[in-house]
Amino acid sequence: MHTAPKQFGKYEILGELGRGGFATVYRARDTRLGRQTALKILDPARSWESDFAARFLQEAQAAAQLKHPHIITIYEIDEVEGQLFIAMELIEGGSLRDYLQAGTSALDVGETRALLAPVAAALDHAHAHGMVHRDVKPANILLDRMNDGSVRAVLSDFGMVKALAQSTELTQSGAILGTVEYMAPEQGDTARAHEIGPAADIYALGVTAYHLLTGQVPFTGSTVQVLMAHASKPPQPPHELRADLPPAVSEAILCALAKQPGERFPTARAFVQALAAAEPPPPEPAKPLPAEPLPLPLAPAKRERGPLPIAAVIVVVLVASILWGARAIVLRRQLPTSRATITPVAIDCDAMVATVSALSNQNNCESAVAGADAAIAAGCQDRSLWENRAICYTMLGKVDAALADFATALDMNPGDAWTYINRSYAYEKQGRLPEALADLTQAITLQPGNAGFYFTRAHIYKQLAQLKDALADLTAAIDLEPANAEYYLNRGDLYERLGELPAAAADFERFVALTAGDDAWTDYRAARQQWLQSYQAGLATLMPATTATPISTSTAIPPTATPAQPAARVNSVANVRSGPGTQYDRIGVAAAGQRFDITGKNGAETWWQIDFNGRAGWLFADLVSAAGDLGRVSVAPAPPTPTRVPPTATPIPPTPTPIPPTPVPPTATTVPPTSAPPTPTPVPPATPTAAPP
């Protein structure tokens, strides 16, 4: 019995999902990124020849370049100890084969068309990029249940069959690669291998449609019997197996199943369009999407299954129907005169907009951009297409393209505050901070009650060194949301930078209280608690006995009086140093409100010399209010700069202000900044400075 490995390189194996002739697929967790993936590991015994790995990797890498909403995303292609593997998107809903096995009846034309339209779009996209799938079948069509309850059909297993087909040993042995029940005639005949192209995938799509509509494949039997039937035997028309199918449906499917590639539909979407044209009016509304997850559970034989929920809610016409355009499609196979021209399927812009928004919200940006491109090309005019594409362009680093799309979205609705917010992030990525600030100001003008907008603008103000403006915005944010811990954290950090340590301490205490028990803030909370302990210890132990007295109504410097002796009043807790600069030793701490006589200054007038307990001390001028006849204060000589021994501990880094996440409206990609912790900040060491400078 095969036992799944517990670890495969950086992947933790969580369980087996499926097994085939060439590979085993596992549910795995990427231990570096923390995400679950589908991990396909090729059987090492199947690496028949030395150049197999190179061919496989080349084809898999080519498949990985296909970016489409309905093609599975490949994360990584590599090998571990000689075993090739592919790490790809994990689809939770099972396959179309699982769905068919869960029921007992065939699907109707609308359900079939709904399922195959996105698959056809994916195939046409691959064909346009020179890729042929070669193994289209229900087992390779995965059903991904989206957050909004809709279902996304995803085509998987690109590249593997072609890589295997090029194996010299397999070619020499005459091995058949693919699934014979769905295999085009040219795939089963080595003499016709040169004919294999996009038409082979259209044939397989036709077999899949036949299976969905009739509950069976056209040909069964041994491998040789099925291959011979594909090559020479006409399939029984589907309407002869199921009386409620219109003959036009059979004509469309038989055209896809033509023996010669040139007699089939020119594109996969043309085939699905023909099915849509032949679709009879629905007898009743589709039933709602069931609550149970896909695949649907097995049921008694007489269970009546309602219409496939995809017919009601799946975003089925996303790219396929969009790209059909307005021109009529003419079938290659002869049809009755009344059916010679097929009416195009109507474009469902609402469904396409919903899918693009869902992909954008899931950060599947490449697929979201592809979907938006197609929807816009088809004439859909919903402004969210441009905005979601702009957000994704920004995340992908294509900022110029993002700014162009934001401009279009704002032309369509210049009063949308969220668009300005999102565009400000694009400007910030380009370093265009004044433009970002202008957009944020406009957003606040439009929505003055949104605390997150002030918080985001404060972030820009800090980068522009406009700290007082940043402080005002953080205060406005707190006034609007007084229980938001993130705002207190950021304002406390800003107060610390400004030297207003009592205010910083008050904000940090509030932050600690609001985040008590919240694991998401553990590191931040511990750092600020450590800061508060050091701050209190600094006030208690570093302030020497001093003859200076706190300011009072009797000793305060009158605001309009000019005392004979110049004096300084401390605005906030400040360090007193032995010389004019932070390179000098700290000799004490002056409390807010204390008054000292000014006895000198440095040449730049940025430090005042004071009488501090009978010795010369120096205060940073920005931290005090000076009064008196300052013109009479002369420049005092600075003492020698002290020689310092390099510290053995790590120097105290400045505490960077957490960068707020970019707020985005509910229909866009991300969430307002109040919903997630800020970017991690370094934890300060055990003895941070108690006062500036």
Question: Annotated active-site positions, please?
Answer: 135
- Quick check: 638 and 602 in contact, CB under 8 A? yes
Q: Where are the beta strands (DSSP E) in 384-472?
A: none
Residue type, 16: E
DSSP string, 528-566: HHHHHHHHHHHHHHSS---S--B--TTTS--SS---SS-
Q: Residue 423 CB: number of other CB atoms within 10 A?
A: 28
How many residues belong to the chain?
693
What b/e string do you get for 446-481 counting C-beta neighbours within 10 Å, with b at 16 or more?
A: bbeebbbbbbbbbbbbbeeeeeebbbebbebbbebb
> ω into residue 261 within 30 of 0, thus cis?
no
519 CB-side CA count, 13 A: 0
* Cα–Cα nearest to 685, from 511, 541, 527: 527
84 CB-side CA count, 13 A: 24
Pair type for strands 595-601 and 151-155 = unpaired
CA 252 to centroid of chain Cα atoms: 40
Measure the CA–CA gap between 367 and 51, rounded to whole angstroms.
33
Measure the CA–CA gap between 460 and 368, rounded to whole angstroms.
29
The pair of structure tokens assigned to 196 is 């294999």
What b/e string do you get for 171-186 counting C-beta neighbours within 10 Å, with b at 16 or more?
A: eeeeebbbbbbbbbbb
Measure the CA–CA gap between 244 and 667, rounded to whole angstroms.
42
Q: Where are the beta strands (DSSP E) in 445-593?
A: 567-570, 574-577, 586-590
Q: Residue 338 CB: number of other CB atoms within 10 A?
A: 7
CA 582 to centroid of chain Cα atoms: 44
Q: What's the start-to-end Cα distance of the chain, in Å?
A: 70
* Cα–Cα nearest to 264, from 185, 339, 325: 185
The pair of structure tokens assigned to 180 is 């014979």
Q: Residue 581 CB: number of other CB atoms within 10 A?
A: 15
